[in-house]
Amino acid sequence: MPAAVISIGSKRRATWSLLEIQLPGRAPEPLGILLADDQTDSLIVRLRPASEIEDLEEQEVDIVDALAADLEQKARESGARSLIDFFEDSLSNFLLIRDRNTFAYSGDPGKAADEIFAEFVGHPEENVRQFETHLPVYSLRAAATRFGESMEVEPERWIRVRPGLRLNESMFVAHVVGRSMEPKIPDGSLCVFRIWGGGTKQGLLLLIEMYGEADYGARYTIKRYRRTGEGEDRRVILEPLNPEFQAFEVEEDGGFRVIAELVEVLPD
């Protein structure tokens, strides 16, 4: 993924990474940023206080409260780039680190870190910029209603997506349940979709509504679209990516409706 470039100045270069925290049953939420100055290989850390994060266990509160000082000490010992290299290779579950973003700045690196923190972390509940930094989360059924029947549907919540992803009001996020599209889409993944706007479907991963299915768990599916043959021999095949599951044929006219195309799978 190409790194996002933030123009703060032009004299010195640095990289920053978004640090996230993930609690069981919840999507990752921003915790802070790590800024590594290229010239000095020093690290600047900006983190939210543990008191702003709901449902932390006592041990987790201690970890978050001590994290900034611990990171700064380790960076002084090994260098900021080495520390972030280590994090990228080892962090998972409770703490997550996202791809590095390159930028140029002048003046105080601490001020640059403050500006990035305010832009990408801040107070999450007060910093939702709809269709700029965040997308709405819908159930698949709600998305089909919202974008198919043009009815007002309230999102479950708004979720921040990665910097650099160009957003617009045709996009949304939904949970995908099931193993048929593994390994591309693991069971339970949050995925970004774009409402289908027409054009060729061949080879795309599409969110599809299957007509005639009373069970809403089976009514909405994500499959790779493949069309074969011409005229009377034309067939539409919906294919899983997991070889343990079988492809199936659908009627091209009246058997299904394409709701959206997959844009990307959000990291765990």
pLDDT digits (tens, 9 = 90+) for 120-130: 887 655 567 78
Q: What one-letter code names the amino acid at 183? A: P
Domain boundary among 73, 100, 126: 126
Tell me: the pLDDT tens digits for 217-237? 668 889 999 988 887 778 889
Same domain, 140 and 107: no
Tell me: the pLDDT tens digits for 22-54? 888 777 888 999 999 998 999 999 998 888 888
Same domain, 139 and 122: no
In degrees rounded to 5, what are phi and psi of residue 232?
A: -65, -20
Residue 66, both tokens: 């001590």
Q: Where in 22-170 does DSSP place strands (E)?
A: 29-37, 43-47, 95-97, 101-105, 134-137, 157-160
- pTM beyond 0.75: no
Domain boundary among 74, 109, 126: 126
Same domain, 118 and 178: no
Instruction: Provide the percentage of residues in the chain whose pLDDT is more than 90.
Output: 38
Same domain, 260 and 141: yes
Cα distance between the two ends of the chain: 17
Same domain, 151 and 178: yes
Residue 158, both tokens: 């708004």
Structural domain count of the chain: 2
Q: How many Å is the maximal CA-CA distance in the chain?
A: 71
Half-sphere exposure of 147 (CA within 13 A, CB side): 26
Question: Looking at the DSSP assignment, which residues form a beta bridge with residue 97?
Answer: 19
Q: Among candidates 136, 155, 143, which has minimal Cα distance to 221?
A: 143
Residue 23, both tokens: 């609690």
Same domain, 92 and 138: no
Return the residue matching tokens 């002048």: 106
The boundaries of the domain holding residue 198 are 134-265
